[in-house]
């Protein structure tokens, strides 16, 4: 959306800035896309600086305070192309200017390592991270803000070491799709994945009267999301169970501002998607990843599944 000039702290002028709610674990989100993410300079928070400002002990040091570090942002290396400088704390006024509700926020400024390097992946991550954290992006020119819809990433994929047959999966997912039509006719003839062992891959589709359809599609791949690369190999596997939503009007998925009917339908099917993923996870284990490439913990999956329909 277009706004008057967005005012951020002057030291961030000329930089793209990621704005997230205070305390957001940006390191975890960065690691999901960039496994080698690391602090090249650790941040010093105000609390850390205050804790270190203790008077020196002993008679000859009475009243003297030791040199302490000032609060300062760190530098978080994403990859060879760019780093983030932050967190830089800001208050409700800055949050509102950045398109968010008034709240305390942290700012992270993008620092390119090489002006000639492509930053397409980094920009993609910033958008996904802002969506995941319910944050925003303030571009360098400061004439607009980008506020990705945090509710749009509802598709989930379970990566498991255990495959299921269509006959075993159907009884698991049917109870999770309350109010939908799910039956044997919704299970296409299984097709064996090329070069794979185990049961054939399959898909199951559940159709809701007003809210579109949910499809569970299985597959096997030698490539898994980057977010899984830092997990123990026993926590995931090559078998994927992709749970996706097809809205009544598929074109709405590409709209920056979808209709109210789309938003209502999405809010009603989101718990069903989470319940399907949770049912499969309980049966075969593994790790769930959302459509932004971030790991969804069992607690988060439970929260999504218990949301009111």
How far apart are alpha carbons 290 and 293 in whole angstroms? Answer: 6
CA distances from 108 to 138, 139, 249, 293 (A): 10, 12, 36, 20
What is the value of pTM for the model shown?
0.84
Instruction: Please report how the helices 260-284 and 166-173 are oriented relative to each other, as an axis angle in degrees rounded to 10.
Output: 120
CA distances from 78 to 72, 127, 131, 295 (A): 19, 15, 18, 18
Q: What is the pLDDT of residues 47-65, one digit of tens each?
A: 666 665 555 555 555 555 5
Query: What value does the CA radius of gyration of the chain take, rounded to a whole number of Å?
Result: 23
pLDDT value at residue 114: 82
* 84, two tokens: 């983030």
Instruction: Please report how the helices 26-33 and 120-133 are oriented relative to each other, as an axis angle in degrees rounded to 10.
Output: 140
How far apart are alpha carbons 187 and 300 in whole angstroms? Answer: 29
* 156, two tokens: 């989930």
Q: What is the pLDDT of residues 184-213, one digit of tens each?
A: 434 444 455 555 566 778 888 888 888 999
């Amino acid at each position: 959306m277009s706004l008057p000039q967005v005012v951020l702290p002057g030291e961030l002028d000329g930089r793209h800035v990621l704005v997230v709610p205070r305390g957001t674990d940006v390191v975890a989100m960065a690691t999901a896309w960039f496994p080698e993410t690391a602090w090249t300079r650790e941040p010093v928070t105000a609390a850390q600086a205050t804790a270190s400002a203790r008077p020196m002990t002993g008679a000859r040091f009475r009243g003297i305070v030791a040199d302490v570090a000032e609060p300062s942002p760190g530098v978080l290396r994403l990859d060879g192309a760019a780093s983030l400088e932050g967190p830089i704390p800001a208050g409700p006024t800055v949050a509102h200017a950045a398109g968010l509700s008034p709240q305390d926020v942290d700012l992270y400024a993008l620092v390119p390592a090489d002006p000639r390097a492509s930053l397409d992946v980094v920009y993609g991550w910033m958008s996904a991270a802002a969506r995941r954290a319910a944050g925003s992006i303030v571009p360098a020119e400061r004439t607009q803000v980008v506020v990705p819809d945090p509710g749009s990433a509802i598709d989930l994929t379970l990566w498991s070491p255990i495959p299921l047959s269509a006959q075993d999966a159907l009884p698991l997912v049917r109870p999770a799709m309350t109010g939908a039509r799910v039956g044997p006719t919704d299970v296409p003839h299984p097709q064996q994945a090329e070069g794979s062992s185990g049961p054939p891959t399959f898909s199951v589709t559940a159709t809701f009267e007003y809210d579109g359809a949910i499809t569970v599609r299985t597959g096997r791949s030698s490539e898994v999301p980057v977010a899984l690369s830092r997990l123990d190999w026993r926590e995931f596997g090559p078998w994927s169970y992709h749970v996706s939503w097809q809205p009544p009007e598929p074109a709405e998925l590409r709209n920056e501002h979808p209709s109210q009917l789309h938003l209502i339908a999405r809010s009603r099917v989101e718990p069903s998607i989470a319940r399907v993923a949770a049912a499969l996870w309980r049966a075969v284990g593994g790790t769930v990843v959302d459509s932004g490439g971030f790991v969804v913990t069992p607690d988060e999956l439970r929260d999504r599944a218990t949301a009111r329909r």
